Each structure stands twice: as structure tokens, then as C-alpha cells.
A and B are shown apart, each in its own frame.
Chain A
Amino acid sequence: MEWQDNALILSVRPFQETGVILELMSRLHGRHLGLVRGGVGRALRGVLQPGNGVMASWRARLADQLGSFQVELTEERASDFLHSPLLLAGLQSAACVLSGALPEREAHEPAYLGLTALLDAARVTRESDWAGLYVMWEMGLLSELGFGLDLSRCTVTGAMDDLTHVSPRTGRAVSRAAAAPYAEKLLRLPAFLLGRQAGEITPGDIRDGLMLTGHFLERHVLWPHEKPLPPVRARLAELAAAGPAPGAESR
């Protein structure tokens, strides 16, 4: 059994003395694990960092074996993230969420493409905007897994404007007027998720967005597998809520 595919590195765990168990998000073969012999060696240590793009060749004698990977670096990304606490927490959070949310060896090409786009965007967007993209990426992941939010109209009145909340039970949008009596029980919907953001995305918007996607990820995706939201996601929320750090690079 063997295949070759583009993939993004999600995690690396040491295995015995010189090997590592590599977890990848591949384009056509989904989330996939495999052994990399000599993965802790000097030649591969820099390549095997979360976020890096690789051309992975997987080989095993039988289809259900762990198998082994040979990897070749195609896109170096990890170093774009190392300088910023927020970007780094975002990268780790995205890797952990994908690792927990996707079943192994099930093709989810949109999830691969979404993650690639999210990671590539870190090079060209400001940190505060990137945190917004992260929230959108989680929304995309939810819909890829069949739990997409319906933000097209108000579930109570049918109105298409002034949508400000989301029902935590159905995942449908609620307009400001209909939400008013239940505002405390509903999840807040930041305008940037509707593509109707007039000004800058504020730390408050990011916090609301992460609360929103976090609720549905936990309820529909992670909880059934008895997994919690990764702690690093809480750190991402904390860093995003604190706003840009003094001296943070804006690119």
C-alpha cells in the first residue's frame, strides 16, 4: 500500500530514540498518521514542525497498519508563526482542533484547503485580522463536518438584516429585535462573520466569534468523542481578547 500527497504537518510525537509519529492533514487522504524514521535527526527536525507543507509518501504492507512516511518540504511556514504569541497559539489551536475533530483517513479536501489558506494568510494579514480569519476557518470546518451555521436569515422573523445572535441549540441566526428577550441565553454573532463589518475587527468581535464556534465545535464535534476543546484555544482567545501586543509586527 502506498500513496503520495500534499499535506500539512499537524503534530510530531517522539517514538523510540530516533523516530517520530507524524500526524498530517493530507489533501486527498485526510488526517493520517505514520512513522518517520530518523525524524529527530538534524535533517528532518526543522522540516517536521507544525504548519509546514510537505509532499508525503506513505507506505505500509497492509492498509490498516500505521505505515511510514517519507516527507519532503514543499512550503516552510512554521517560522512565520514563531515570533508572535497570537499566531503561534492560532497555529497550535488549529492543529489541535483538526486533530480532535477529523476522523483518521477520511478525505476532507476542503479542510486541507481551508487550513492551507489560513496558514498562508498569516504572512499577509495583520494579527487582529488573522484572528478573525481563524474564526471563519472554524466556521468552515463546522460546515465541512455537517454542522454549519445558518446565518442567512433570522430563524424567528425571517428577516435578513440586523442579525446579531445565534441560537446555541439550532445554530441559526436571530435578529436583534427577536433576540432581545433572550439575549443572555443566545450566542453573540459578530458582524464580520456575515461579511458586513464596517470598521476594524475588534478583540470583542474575536472573543464573540470564538465563543460561537467553540460552542458548536464542543457540542457537535468534540463532546461526542469525549474530547474537550484544546486548552491552547483558550490561550488564543485570551491573547486575541488582550488585543495587539505592544510592538507587534503589522505586516
Chain B
Amino acid sequence: MTSYSAGPQIDRLIQLLGKLPGLVPRSARRAALALLKRKADLLEPLSAALTEAGRAIKTCAVCGNLDTADPCTLCQDPRREQGMICVVEEVGDLWAIERAGIFRGRYHVLGGSLSALDGRGPDSLSIGKLVGRAASGGIAEVVLALNATVDGQATAHYVAERMHELNVPVTRLAHGLPVGGELGYLDDGTLNAAFKARRPA
């Protein structure tokens, strides 16, 4: 018995939607159906937005951010501190920091972390580009905002080493108690890191 198919276009739509994070074939079918039911106010605008995004969005040649302009808006913004570079693994991390509005410098997106077991070395990340930026001068501080994981910190140590060679000051984000965190509920690793990073009160 063959399963019911509504036509190659719908199958393809479901198949593509199913590749998005958070969607499995069943939810992709529901999403496809929702789009087709609301053709004028959802499907067509979405299709136009996707086409437009695909055409206009580029990876910034300087920092690796995604933007319609190259260099990106953040790199071009004169109000941002020129001498501060915040190094992040992925564009999603950059968005998180921008959302919080806590950093007013520029960014550098590495595109991942070094991984010993998967054989992902420095050449597969944009570390060379960061070194180039740092070597061009005028950098007062490089902030390493990398994940507190084994791979993330191995990457941080490597980048810090490269920056020390250029005599560029490097800092890294603190590891420890989260805001609103209650000691009784914290995991051992976070507590350990918090104790190691304690400072005079």
C-alpha cells in the first residue's frame, strides 16, 4: 500500500520544513498545512521574505556576523568602541550578547570551537582572521566569550595564546554563580568554578 501524496510540491515543502531545527516530519506536515491554508497572509510573505533574505544576507568579511551589509552594521557603527573585540563561537552567541545590550565593542565570530576528537583544528575556524585584526593594531582588549565546555575553553586558551604573542590584552568571561541561582540547586562543576573564581568582597 502506498501512502497518500498530495503532490511533489507539497512533499518537497514538507521535506524541507522537516530539516529545520525543532521540526520533525509530523510537525513539518502541520507547518506546511498551516502555510497552505493561509496562503495570502503567511505563505506568500514568508516565501518573499526567504527569497529576500537569501539574496541580501551575507557573512561579514571582517567579523563573520550575518547582515545585509558587508562589513556588517556592528562593524561599521562608529559609536562602538573600536579597540574592543568580543570573540564568540557562533552568530547565535553574538545575538545573545547584543540582546542583553552589555557590550559596546565589536565582535569576532569563530564559527565553532576546536575539537580534539573530531579533528577540528585552528585552520577550520576563523582564528587567522582574528589574528590579522589584532595585528593591525589599535586593539585595547580581546574578550573571550566562549562556552564553559572542554572544547570551548580549549579554544579560549588557544586564542589567548595567539593574542599574547601579539601583546594584546585578553580577558575571558567569569564562570560561576548564575544570577538568581540558589546554591542548593547548583551543579558541582558550577560551584567548583565559582569557588575558584571567588574575589575579595
Q: Residues of A at under 8 Å CB distance from B?
A: 10-11, 13, 17, 45-47, 49-52, 73, 76, 78-83, 85, 88-89, 91-93, 95-96, 99, 230-232
Select B154's contact among A47, A51, A92, beta carbons within 8 Å: A92
Binds A, one of B69-77, B83-91, B103-111, B112-120: B112-120
B175 cross-chain contacts in A, Cβ below 8 A: 79, 82
Asked if B15 CB lies within 8 Å of chain A CBs, one says: no
Select B192's contact among A45, A47, A80, A232, beta carbons within 8 Å: A80
We find that the number of chain B residues with CB closer than 8 angstroms to chain A is: 23
Measured between C-beta atoms, what is the minimum distance from A131 to chain B in Å?
15
A92 B150 Cβ-Cβ under 8 A? yes
Task: Give A84's nearest chain B residue, CB to CB.
Answer: B157
Binds A, one of B48-56, B58-66, B133-141, B183-191: B183-191
Known: A49-B149, A79-B192, A95-B117. 5 other contacts (CB 8 A): A17-B22, A47-B187, A49-B150, A78-B150, A232-B116
Task: Give A9's nearest chain B residue, CB to CB.
Answer: B150
B187 A231 Cβ-Cβ under 8 A? no
Once bound together, how far apart are the Cα atoms of A93 and B114, in whole Å?
Answer: 13
Query: Which 4 residue pairs across A and B have the least CB separation, nearest first?
Result: A76-B188, A85-B157, A232-B116, A92-B116
B153 cross-chain contacts in A, Cβ below 8 A: 82-83, 88
Once bound together, how far apart are the Cα atoms of A2 and B153, in whole Å?
Answer: 35
Q: Which of B136-176 contact A (CB under 8 A)?
A: 148-150, 153-154, 157-158, 161, 175
A85 B150 Cβ-Cβ under 8 A? no
A231 cross-chain contacts in B, Cβ below 8 A: 116, 119, 121
B118 cross-chain contacts in A, Cβ below 8 A: 13
Once bound together, how far apart are the Cα atoms of A163 and B154, in whole Å?
Answer: 37
Measured between C-beta atoms, what is the minimum distance from B107 to chain A in Å?
23
A230 B148 Cβ-Cβ under 8 A? no
A88 B157 Cβ-Cβ under 8 A? yes
Measured between C-beta atoms, what is the minimum distance from A171 to chain B in Å?
27
Task: Give B187's nearest chain A residue, CB to CB.
Answer: A46
Select B188's contact among A13, A73, A230, beta carbons within 8 Å: A73
B149 cross-chain contacts in A, Cβ below 8 A: 45, 49, 78
A46 cross-chain contacts in B, Cβ below 8 A: 187, 189-190
A76 B192 Cβ-Cβ under 8 A? yes
A80 cross-chain contacts in B, Cβ below 8 A: 192
The contact sample of 15 A-B pairs, CB cut-off 8 A, is A17-B22, A76-B187, A76-B188, A83-B196, A85-B154, A88-B150, A88-B153, A88-B154, A88-B157, A91-B150, A92-B117, A95-B116, A96-B117, A230-B116, A231-B116
B119 cross-chain contacts in A, Cβ below 8 A: 231
Task: Give A76's nearest chain B residue, CB to CB.
Answer: B188
Task: Give A236's nearest chain B residue, CB to CB.
Answer: B116
Select A11's contact among B117, B154, B196, beta carbons within 8 Å: B117
B187 A73 Cβ-Cβ under 8 A? yes
Once bound together, how far apart are the Cα atoms of A50 and B189, in whole Å?
Answer: 12
> Among A46, A73, A89, A95, which residue has the most Cβ atoms of chain B within 10 A?
A46
Asked if B21 CB lies within 8 Å of chain A CBs, one says: yes
Measured between C-beta atoms, what is the minimum distance from A99 to chain B in Å?
6
Once bound together, how far apart are the Cα atoms of A92 and B149, in whole Å?
Answer: 12
B116 A82 Cβ-Cβ under 8 A? no
Asked if B193 CB lies within 8 Å of chain A CBs, one says: yes
A51 B121 Cβ-Cβ under 8 A? no
Measured between C-beta atoms, what is the minimum distance from B68 to chain A in Å?
28
Task: Give B157's nearest chain A residue, CB to CB.
Answer: A85
Once bound together, how far apart are the Cα atoms of A93 and B117, in whole Å?
Answer: 9
> Among A73, A82, A99, which residue has the most Cβ atoms of chain B within 10 A?
A82
A49 B189 Cβ-Cβ under 8 A? yes
Measured between C-beta atoms, what is the minimum distance from A194 to chain B in Å?
30
Once bound together, how far apart are the Cα atoms of A79 and B152, in whole Å?
Answer: 12
B148 cross-chain contacts in A, Cβ below 8 A: 82
> Among B22, B119, B189, which residue has the most Cβ atoms of chain A within 10 A?
B189
